[in-house]
Chains A and B, each alone.
Chain A
Amino acid sequence: MALGNAMQLTLGPVPYYWPKARLDAFHEAIAAAPIDRVYLGEAICSRRHEYRSADWLEAAARLADAGKEVVLSSQVLMESESDLRALRRFAANGRFMLEANDMSAVHTIAGRAPFVAGAHLNIYNAEALAFIAALGAERWVPPFEMTRDSLASILAQKPAGVATEVFAYGRLPLAFSARCFTARHYDLPKDDCRFACLDHPEGLVVATRERESFLVLNGIQTQSYRVLNLVDALPEMRELGVDAVRLSPQPERMDEVIAAFRAALDGAASDAVAATLAPALPAAPCNGYWHGRPGLDYVMRHAAA
């Protein structure tokens, strides 16, 4: 599909464990929001079951009916045969594209259908990108650690036919573990976690001993406390040839985040965009990776002379 000069706005999968009613309401709001593409699915923890496979497919159909491109995201950390069975069911759904978030998913989908190569596949260079594109990736998401300069270097050699989608807003998915840190906090075994994540729609904040908020525990995932915000890099991304930017969902004020990015993509003045976006951020922003610095840094952009 031709994107022309316009960059797409996409919404990543909900990383948290929300009750079914909250997910339903969220999807209903997204159906009406100015988002071009939506990623759905439980990408974090196989124990989470407020939505079953059928619920995800139903939500996917509703969003597709509302005019969204819909993609199903595979689980990042695959451990068991039942994880693989769930992956195969998703891959064989016959209607929606798969975002492959590990090589089990690539192995399952390659040669059968085009797919999205997710950020966790660790495509760090043009050679790896050419390889994954040849297997049928129609789009790739660079690792969120990637700097602007590295991305520019790769895009200068990018094979034709593969679109680039950059993670541009939200808490960074810093790490994944076999251990569930939310269950650990409550001194519960992972196998009997009593779904403690349900009480934390935005995860559990980890602060340093001097009470500086640092990380967020989201089950087996560890996120940044600071919120990635690359809204002021959108013009640069367009110049580099980026085709889409991705927002990662948060439980409150997501509509305002979407509105601000949509306005920025439509050419609104950066001051106006910043004013809309700032109050919607649940924590201080960061953008260090893009600038080749520690991820938690925030580099202020000065108005061009």
Chain B
Amino acid sequence: MTAPKRIELVCPAGTLPALKTAIDHGADCVYFGFRNDTNARNFGGLNFDAKAAAEGVRYAQLRGRKVLVALNTYAQPGAFERWTRALDLAADLGVDAVILADPGLMRYAVERHPDLRLHLSVQGSATTYEAINFYVRHFAIKRAVLPRVLSLAQVEHVVGSAQTEIEVFGFGSLCVMVEGRCALSSYTTGEGPNTVGVCSPAKAVRWQDTADGLEVRLNEVLIDRFATGDKAGYPTLCKGRYVVRDDTHYAIEEPTSLNTLELLPQLLQMGVAAVKIEGRQRSPAYVAAVTRIWRAAIDACTAAPSRFAVRDAWMGELANLSEGRQTTLGAYHRPWR
């Protein structure tokens, strides 16, 4: 048994106010993207221009915290320079690391910015230590973010055999599909995570009151229908209700969020380097609450892992911030699979 190490808390920053809020509430690292399709949260009104990015980097680094920049879509042919310019900008800003998925962009990063620290994005779909060690060998990545598909035992196995640090998702919206391997959104709307940095984009959403209830469509495909009084959630494709053999249900996944707070002692024990909070599209209030709770939990767990207990107040507040007010342990928890 090794002594528990420190586990970094990595928090989302969709905007400069969210970045400052995350730092003020105890984030060890914040991550953000630029205002275009070079990152996987390419949503209207979100993300950083060069000026906001410079101020964010200053704000965090003055306080001894780190800044990671997500450049985690796949560079599109004919526009490769948009991705390399974004990477050059991140390097010029002196960020602590960039989070990449595209091997073409990684190659550029290694050649042009040999001192820049590279993290492998969850969008890289690396689910085994062999895949991660591939990126270590060819691009000297310093950390890999695991897709949300492995059980706790599988995560431990990866941590034990990967030649680099491992970051896992702790809290937030749940991708039930392997990140980087999901084209449901581009199939339906023409825009998806890999190429444009969006999923189920707002511009393809259409709400309509009908005699059968409130209907929501993505580019004409009916994703769900809500009776009066039902809480109508955002029409993320994999969280709609569909019909399979005359049975209408959440055929792929319920609207729910991942919450692994109760697994913290195990994550710490197995040597996970960092826990990521999802939610760059969420408000500063969300960032404040989630960061504060996870900071308190990590500090309590680090001080006395054997006595760590999840507080009801934490779980209640996190559930209120979750999709459908439900949380799950996701793939970490065997029965979910």
A→B interface (CB under 8 Å): 76-81, 83-84, 102-104, 106-108, 120, 122-132, 143-145, 149-151, 153-154, 172, 174-181, 184-185, 189-191, 204-212, 214-215, 217, 222, 224, 288-289, 292-296
Please tell me if the beta carbons of A208 and B221 are within 8 angstroms of each other in the complex.
Answer: yes
User: Which of B78, B150, B336 has the most A CB atoms < 10 Å from its CB?
Assistant: B78
The complex places the Cα of A211 from the Cα of B135 at a distance, in Å, of 44
Q: Which partner residue on chain B sits nearest A88 by CB separation?
A: B130
Q: Is the interface of A mostly helix, strand, loop or mixed?
A: mixed
Contacts of B178 in A (CB 8 A): 77, 175-178
A103 CB to closest chain B CB, in angstroms?
4
B311 at the interface (CB under 8 A from A): no
Known pairs A149-B78, A185-B251 / 19 extra A-B pairs, C-beta < 8 Å: A84-B128, A104-B130, A120-B181, A125-B76, A126-B77, A126-B80, A128-B75, A143-B194, A150-B77, A151-B77, A153-B77, A154-B77, A175-B238, A179-B176, A206-B244, A208-B221, A209-B243, A294-B186, A295-B186
Please tell me if the beta carbons of B186 and A222 are within 8 angstroms of each other in the complex.
Answer: no
Binary contact readout B224-251 vs A (1 if CB under 8 angstroms, 0 otherwise) = 1100000000000010111111011001
B85 at the interface (CB under 8 A from A): no
Please tell me if the beta carbons of B244 and A127 are within 8 angstroms of each other in the complex.
Answer: no
Nearest 3 CB-CB pairings of A with B: A127-B104, A178-B149, A128-B104
Contacts of A175 in B (CB 8 A): 177-178, 181-184, 238
A15 CB to closest chain B CB, in angstroms?
14
25 A-B pairs with C-beta separation under 8 A: A78-B131, A79-B150, A103-B134, A122-B180, A124-B102, A125-B102, A127-B104, A128-B104, A130-B107, A131-B107, A143-B194, A176-B177, A177-B177, A178-B176, A178-B178, A184-B251, A185-B245, A189-B335, A207-B243, A210-B222, A211-B243, A289-B187, A294-B186, A295-B183, A296-B221
B74 at the interface (CB under 8 A from A): yes
B154 at the interface (CB under 8 A from A): yes
Size class of B's contact patch?
35 or more
Please tell me if the beta carbons of B252 and A181 are within 8 angstroms of each other in the complex.
Answer: yes
B21 at the interface (CB under 8 A from A): no
Binary contact readout B142-178 vs A (1 if CB under 8 angstroms, 0 otherwise) = 0000001111001001000000000000000000111
Q: Which partner residue on chain A sits nearest B245 by CB separation?
A: A204
Contacts of A130 in B (CB 8 A): 104, 107
B147 CB to closest chain A CB, in angstroms?
8
Identify which of A124, A177, A190, A288 contacts B76 (C-beta below 8 A).
A124
Q: Which partner residue on chain B sits nearest A128 by CB separation?
A: B104
Identify which of A78, A107, A180, A204 contacts B127 (C-beta below 8 A).
A78
Q: Which partner residue on chain B sits nearest A185 by CB separation?
A: B244
Please tell me if the beta carbons of B331 and A178 are within 8 angstroms of each other in the complex.
Answer: yes
Contacts of A191 in B (CB 8 A): 334, 337
B→A interface (CB under 8 Å): 74-78, 80, 101-105, 107-108, 124-128, 130-131, 133-135, 137-138, 148-151, 154, 157, 176-178, 180-184, 186-190, 192, 194-195, 219, 221-225, 238, 240-245, 247-248, 251-253, 331, 334-337
User: Known interface pairs A217-B251, A295-B183. Does A107 touch B134 (Cβ–Cβ under 8 Å)?
Assistant: yes
Please tell me if the beta carbons of B130 and A107 are within 8 angstroms of each other in the complex.
Answer: yes
Q: Which partner residue on chain A sits nearest B238 by CB separation?
A: A175
Contacts of A108 in B (CB 8 A): 130
The complex places the Cα of A179 from the Cα of B80 at a distance, in Å, of 34
Contacts of B331 in A (CB 8 A): 178-179
Please tell me if the beta carbons of B183 and A294 are within 8 angstroms of each other in the complex.
Answer: no
Contacts of B243 in A (CB 8 A): 206-209, 211
User: Known interface pairs A209-B225, A289-B186. Does A131 touch B103 (Cβ–Cβ under 8 Å)?
Assistant: yes
Contacts of B336 in A (CB 8 A): 179
Q: Which partner residue on chain A sits nearest B161 by CB separation?
A: A81
Please tell me if the beta carbons of A79 and B127 are within 8 angstroms of each other in the complex.
Answer: yes
The complex places the Cα of A31 from the Cα of B311 at a distance, in Å, of 63
Contacts of A80 in B (CB 8 A): 154, 157
User: Known interface pairs A150-B77, A209-B243, A212-B222. Does A296 touch B337 (Cβ–Cβ under 8 Å)?
Assistant: no
The complex places the Cα of A76 from the Cα of B157 at a distance, in Å, of 19
Please tell me if the beta carbons of A177 and B176 are within 8 angstroms of each other in the complex.
Answer: yes
Q: Which partner residue on chain B sits nearest A121 by CB separation?
A: B103
Contacts of B157 in A (CB 8 A): 80-81
Please tell me if the beta carbons of B337 and A180 are within 8 angstroms of each other in the complex.
Answer: yes
Contacts of B241 in A (CB 8 A): 209
Contacts of A211 in B (CB 8 A): 243
Contacts of A128 in B (CB 8 A): 74-75, 102-104, 107
Contacts of A143 in B (CB 8 A): 194
B77 CB to closest chain A CB, in angstroms?
4
Please tell me if the beta carbons of B188 and A294 are within 8 angstroms of each other in the complex.
Answer: yes
Please tell me if the beta carbons of A222 and B252 are within 8 angstroms of each other in the complex.
Answer: yes
The complex places the Cα of A13 from the Cα of B134 at a distance, in Å, of 25
User: Known interface pairs A104-B130, A127-B104. Does A212 touch B221 (Cβ–Cβ under 8 Å)?
Assistant: yes
Contacts of A77 in B (CB 8 A): 127, 149, 178, 181
